[in-house]
Structure 1
C-alpha cells in the first residue's frame, strides 16, 4: 500500500512541477519545486523505516531528476522531515510498546502512564532552550544539535536494561523533541515567501502523520519478537532518522532573517535570491527584513553590523521584552500563540492517539486484532486529512480551516461521548454503537488534522516579530508540550474517575471554548509578510476585521508586503 501511495504522490508532484516549469512563472515554479522537495523527503523517510522503500525512493528520484538535482532540491526544504522527531510518532509507537514494556519490566499502570506522557514534559526544556540556542548558533546548527540529542535518547531507550534507564532515555529524547518542535516551523516560516509559507510550514505535519500511521503498523511487524526484544526494537529504530536528518541539514541554507540580525547581509541576499520568485522580490524581502531589524534602508552592507546591538543579534534581552515588559501588541501576539497551543492539546488529541486501543475496547472491540486494525484506520484518517490541509492553507486561509476544524472536533467528541455513554448503560455494545464510535473517532482525528493540528505550528511561527520569534515560538512549543503531558498522563485516571464518556464530554467543552478563542483573538495571516504581523495585531478595530475573515491581499505583489510592514 505504501509503495503504491508513494508512486501516486510522486506522479502528482511531477505533474505539478512540470506544469509550473512550463508556464515560466517564478511563483509557480517555486511552489511546484517546494512541493517536490518536501515530498521527496517524505519518500526518504519511508525508506528509513523499510530499506526496500529506500531503494524505491532512490531509484525514482535519481532516474527521473538526477542525483545532483535531488540534492539541490533537498537543501531548502529538508526541515520538513524534522517534524518526524515530534512526539506524536512516539505516542503511536508507545501505544503498542506499552503492552510489552509492562509485561517485560513488570511495572504498574501508573508507571506506564508516567512513562508515556513524561516525554512531553521533558520536551519543555528543549523547547525553551531552543529559542536562545537558535539565536546564538543559528537555525541550521540548532537542527543538527536536535538530531544528536534525539539520536542519543532513542539509542538509550532501545538499550535500556530497566525502567530507570528507560526514563533517562525518555528525558534525553524529550529534550530533542522540544528542540525539533520549535526550530522546524520557525525555519520554514523564515525561509519561505509569504505566497507559500503556509504550505511549507504545514507540510511537515504530513510526515508526522505518516510516522503515526507507521507507528501503528509497526505494532504488527514486531509482534512476533520475544517480549524482551520487541519494544526495544520499536524504540531503538528511532535512532535511524536523526542520522539522515543531520546529513541533510548540511545541504540547507541558513535562515536569511537570522543572517540579517547577525550582520551577514551578503549571505542573506544569496538565500533570498534562491527562495524568491524574482530578484526584485528578493530585494524587497531583504528591505523588509532590514527595516524590521532596525537597519536604515540606505545603510551599506559593510556597515550593517554597527547598527545591530550585539545583545540583540544573540537574542539577549528578549525574555524581558517578551514576558516582563511586553508592548500591548506583543502581549496580544503572545496571548494568541499560547492560547492556540493550549487548546490544540487540551482538546485531547494525544489521549485519543495514545489510548486508541483502550477506547476501542470500551466501545466493544474485544479482539486485539480488531483494535489494532482500528488504530491503523486512525492513522490513515490523520494522514489523509493533513494532506488536504496542506494544500488549502495558502488558498483558503488559516481562520476558515481552524474554525471548521474546531467545530468538527466538538461535534465528533459529543457524538463519541454519547455513544460510549449508551454502551455503558446497556452493558453490551450494539453493532451500530460500535461502528458509530469508530467513525466518530476517525472524524475527530481527521478534523484535528485538517486545521488545528498544522495551523497551531504555522501560526505561532509567523506572528512574532523577528527579534522575538525564536523565543516566542519556543514558549508556544513549551505550552503545547505541557498540555500534552498533562492530558496523556491523566487520561487513565480521568476516565476511571468520571467515566470514559465523561472524559470526552470534558474534551468537547474545551474544544468549544477553543472555537470561541480562535474566533475572537486570531486574525487571518494568509498572504501577509512576517514583518507585517505587528501591524496586523496592533490595528484598531481588529475585532471587526477578524469577523470578516481577516485581511485579504488585493495584490500579491511583494511591494505590498513592504509598504505595510510593522514598526518596532
Structure 2
C-alpha cells in the first residue's frame, strides 16, 4: 500500500508532497534591485564627476592655456599633472574627516572645496594664480575620490554591491565626456576667454552635489561606529534586500566594530569607537596576514590602473591624434568626444556584468585587452613616426586602438579598481585603507600625466605605449596570482578570503570543502528527520 502511495505521489504532479519536493529544487530567485540603495549610490557618485570633468576639460583647455599664457611644455605638464599630487592632501584628509563628521557631510566638504577651486581657475590671470587654483581644486577632487566609493560600498546590499560601487567610475567617465563636450562647445570663443569658461563652469556640478546630499542617509557602518544602532538599523532596513539581510548586516557590522550582539541602543552609547586611532599602526606597523594581503591588493590595483597609461591617453588624446595625423583643432576635439563617448558606453556595460560575471574574469579580460591594444597603438604610432609618407592604415589603426584601449579599460580595470579596493578593507580600516589606495592612484597618475610629454619626446610616442603595454602585462600576472573573487560576499565576510598572498586558492578550496561537508551533514540530518 505504501508503494501505491509512493507511486501516486510520483505520477501525480498536483499531489502536495510533489509540489513541496519541486519547490525545494526551484532555483532561488535573485532579489529585485533595491531602489533606495540605487538612489543613494547615484547621489554619492556625483562627487566623482568633479575629477572626470577636470580630466576631460584639461585635455583640450591646456592647448589654449599654453597659447594664451605662453607656457613651456614643462609648465603644461605640471599644470595638468599636479592636480593629482594636490588631491593626495584631499584623500588623506577625507579618511580622517569621514570618520569624524560622517561620510555624508564629507561629500559636502568635497563639493564646497572644488566649487572654490573651479571659480578660482576660471578667474585666473596668470600661471601662478592658476596653479594655486589647481591646488584648491585638487583638494576637492581628493575628497570626492575617496568618499564616494566608500559611502556607496557601505550602503549597498551584497547582491548588487559590484553594480552600485562601480557608479563612481561611471560618473568619472560621464565627467570626462562633459569636459570633452565643453572643450568643443567653447573652442570657438576667443582664446583668453574660452579656456577660462571651460574651467570655471566646472563649479556647477559641485553646487548640485551639495544639494543632493540633503536627501541621502548616513552610512550605516559609520552610524554603528558612533553607537547609533537605531539609526543604522533604519538605514539598513531601507538598503537591504530583506529584513533578514538587514539583521545579518547589522550583526556583522556590530561584530566588526567590536560591539556585543546583545548591546542595546542606550548601552552602546558608552562604547563609541574612536576616529581612526590605532588604524595606521594596524595597517603598517603590526598588520595581520589578511590585512597585509589586503593592503598589497588595494595599493597594487590602484598603482596598475594608472601606471598602464590611462591618463596619458585621456589627458593627451589631442597630442596622440595630432601624432596620428589629425591636424585640425576642431577635428582633434571632436575625436576626443569620441573617446569620452566610448569610455562612458563601456563603463555602463561593465556595471551590469560585475555582479553576474565577477571581478576576476572581467579584470583579467580587461587587462589582457589593454595589453593588446597598447601594443598595437605603439606599433601604429611608431610606423607613422618613421614614415615620410602618410600611412592611412597606420592612422586608422592608431585611432582604433585608442578607442579599443579606453573600451577595454572601462569594461574592467576602471570600475573594478573602485569596487575591489573599497570592499576588501574591513570596517575598522576602510576609510584610511581606501585613502591609501587613492593616494597611490593619484601619485601614479601625477607622475604619468606630469612627465608624459617629456617621456614621449625621450623614447618616442610609440615607445611610450610599448612601455605601458609592458606594465599592463605585469599587472595581469599580479591580478591572476594575488586577487581572490569577492562577488556575492558580505563586506564583513570578505576578509576571510585574504591571508595567503600567493596560495589563496588553496585556502579557498579548503573552505569550500568544509562547506560541502557541512552541507552534506545537514542534508543527511534533514533526510533522517524526514525518514
Fold conserved (TM > 0.5)? yes
Please list the CA deviations of residues 36-59 of structure 1 after superposition, one character each: whole Å capped at 9, or x if unmatched. Answer: x3xxxxxxxxxxxxxxxxxxxxxx
Offset at residue 207 of structure 1 (A): 2.1
Residue 233, structure 1, aligned to residue 236, structure 2:
no
Quote the residue 1:329 is aligned against.
290
- Gapped regions of structure 1 (runs ≥ 5): 1-24, 38-74, 556-568
Q: 1:389 aligns with which of 346, 350, 357?
A: 350
Shift, 1:538, TM fit: 2.8
The aligned residue for residue 427 of structure 2 is 466
CA contact (8 A) 1:76 1:251 kept: no
**What corresponds to 1:129 in structure 2?**
93
Aligned-partner Cα distance in 1 for 2:507–2:132: 46
Give the alignment partner of residue 33 of structure 2, picking from 12, 30, 33.
Answer: 30
> 1:100 and 1:76, CA in 2 relative to 1: closer, same or farther beyond 3 A?
closer
Paired residue for 2:303?
A: 342
Which residue among 46, 50, 53 is the counterpart of 1:85? 50
Instruction: Give the 3 Å change call, closer, same or farther, for CA 161–369 of structure 1 in structure 2.
Output: closer
SS in 2 for 1:530: coil
Deviation at 1:105, TM superposition (A): 1.4
Q: Distance in 2 between matches of 1:198 and 1:418?
A: 35
Residues 1:352 and 2:313 are matched in the alignment: yes
Structure 1 match to 2:322: 361
- 1:290 aligned partner: 254
Once the two structures are superposed, residues 54-102 of structure 1 have per-residue CA deviations (whole angstroms, 9 ceiling, x without a partner) of xxxxxxxxxxxxxxxxxxxxx564102111122x321210111112111
Instruction: Give 1:528 deviation, angstroms.
Output: 0.8
Out of 410, 432, 440, the residue aligned to residue 479 of structure 1 is: 440
Query: Aligned partners of 2:175, 2:49: CA distance in 1, in Å?
Result: 7
Match of 2:218 in 1: 254
Aligned to 1:201: 165
Determine which of 140, 143, 152 is the counterpart of 1:179: 143
Q: 2:502 & 2:183 partners in 1: Cα distance? A: 53
Q: Distance in 2 between matches of 1:219 and 1:551?
A: 53
Segment of structure 1 superposing worse, 273-282 or 119-128: 273-282
Shift of 1:404: 0.5
Deviations 1:284-330 (A, max 9, x none): 1101110111112222222123344xxx4311111111112111111
Change (3 A) 1:117 1:546: farther
How far 1:429 moved relative to its partner?
A: 2.8
Cα offset for 1:357? 1.2
Give deviations 1:208-251, integer Å, cap 9, x for gaps: 21221221122221112122111110111111111111111011
Contact 1:120 1:482 survives alignment (8 Å): yes
Given that 2:34 and 2:241 are in contact with CA atoms closer than 8 Å, whether structure 1 keeps it comes out as no
Q: Is residue 96 of structure 1 aligned with residue 57 of structure 2?
A: no
Counterparts of 2:254 and 2:438, CA distance in 1: 27
2:119 equivalent among 152, 155, 166: 155
- Count of paired positions: 488
**For the residues of structure 2 that align with 1:100 and 1:294, how far apart are their CA atoms?**
55
**For the residues of structure 2 that align with 1:294 and 1:205, how far apart are their CA atoms?**
32
Q: Confirm or deny: 8 A CA contact 1:341 1:480 kept in the other structure.
A: yes
2:365 is matched with which residue? 404
Please tell me whether Structure 1 or Structure 2 has the larger radius of gyration of its CA atoms.
Answer: 2
Give CA-to-partner distance per residue, 1:432-453, whole Å, 9 cap, x none. Answer: 1111111111000100001001
Q: Could you tell me how far apart the structure 2 residues matched to 1:462 and 1:80 are?
A: 16
Closer, same or farther: CA 215–404 of 1 in aligned 2, 3 Å = same
TM-score scaled to structure 2, two decimals? 0.88
Aligned to 1:21: none
Change (3 A) 1:93 1:281: same
C-alpha distance in structure 2 between counterparts of 1:402 and 1:541, whole Å: 18
Q: Does residue 305 of the first structure (1) align with residue 266 of the second (2)?
A: no
Counterparts of 2:82 and 2:501 in 1: how far apart (Å)?
Answer: 42
Q: 2:228 aligns with which of 242, 248, 264?
A: 264
User: Cα offset for 1:192?
Assistant: 0.5
The 1:506/1:539 distance shift into structure 2, 3 A limit, reads closer
How well do the aligned residues superpose, as a CA RMSD in angstroms? 2.2
Give the Cα separation in 1 of the matches to 2:36 and 2:252. Answer: 25
Shift of 1:373: 2.4
CA distance in 1, matches of 2:261, 2:500: 25
With CA pairs under 8 Å and 6+ residues apart, which has the higher RCO, 1 or 2? 2
Q: Cα deviations across residues 424-472 of structure 1 (Å, max 9, x unaligned)? A: 2222231111111111110001000010011101111111110000000
How far has the Cα of 1:33 moved from its partner?
A: 6.0
* Change over 3 Å in CA distance of 1:27–1:179 after alignment to 2: farther
CA 1:334 to 1:511, structure 2 compared with 1: closer, same or farther past 3 Å? same
Aligned-pair CA distance for 1:372:
2.2
| Farther off after superposition, 405-414 or 77-86 | 77-86
Picking from 276, 284, 287, the partner of 1:315 is 276
Deviation string 1:474-514 (CA, Å, 9 cap, x unpaired) is 00000000000000011100011101111001000000000
CA contact (8 A) 1:30 1:276 kept: no
CA distance in 1, matches of 2:405, 2:507: 26
Is 1:504 paired with 2:469?
Answer: no
Task: Tell me which residue corresponds to 1:524.
Answer: 485
Q: Distance in 1 between matches of 2:333 and 2:506?
A: 46
Q: For 1:405 and 1:426, locate their aligned partners in 2 and report how far apart those are by CA, in whole Å.
A: 32
